[in-house]
């Protein structure tokens, strides 16, 4: 399990406006910045970032401009699967791509998750 939500999106000005509107009511802070300052930057300023790492009153959400080794938003979206969550259609990274991302990152905690995801994939293929 994770306590964070990762979202892949082109960090262009218009999307950064949408991001600010979505997280604004939940007191976003830059959780990877010393002192965890509140997010007070404009959409134009945020569009200069490669990734945005926010903590909110609902939890952590990371907005990623790209998702190595899969690629850009378009590449991730083209390979994603569609699921309905709480009545909304959502694009979700495929299990194989999530395994590839965990292998690419390579931190000990990601290696452990990668192993578990491979086991899940193997079990579901047997059915």
DSSP 11-23: --HHHHHHHHHHH
Rounded to 10°, the helix 108-126/95-105 angle is: 160
Mean pLDDT of 55-74: 96
Residue 127 pLDDT class (50, 70, 90 cuts) = low
Q: Is the pLDDT of residue 22 over 70?
A: yes
> Is the pTM here over 0.85, yes or no?
yes
Greater pLDDT, 58 or 3: 58
């Amino acid at each position: 399990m994770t306590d964070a939500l990762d979202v892949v999106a082109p960090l262009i000005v218009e999307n950064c406006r949408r991001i600010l509107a979505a997280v604004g009511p939940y007191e976003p802070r830059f959780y990877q910045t010393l002192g965890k300052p509140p997010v007070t930057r404009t959409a134009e300023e945020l569009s200069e970032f490669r990734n945005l790492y926010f903590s909110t009153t609902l939890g952590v959400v990371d907005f990623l401009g790209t998702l190595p080794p899969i690629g850009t938003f378009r590449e991730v979206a083209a390979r994603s699967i569609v699921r309905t969550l709480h009545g909304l259609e959502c694009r979700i990274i495929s299990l194989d791509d999530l395994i590839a991302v965990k292998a690419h990152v390579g931190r000990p905690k990601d290696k452990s998750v990668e192993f578990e995801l491979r086991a899940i994939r193997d079990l579901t293929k047997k059915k």
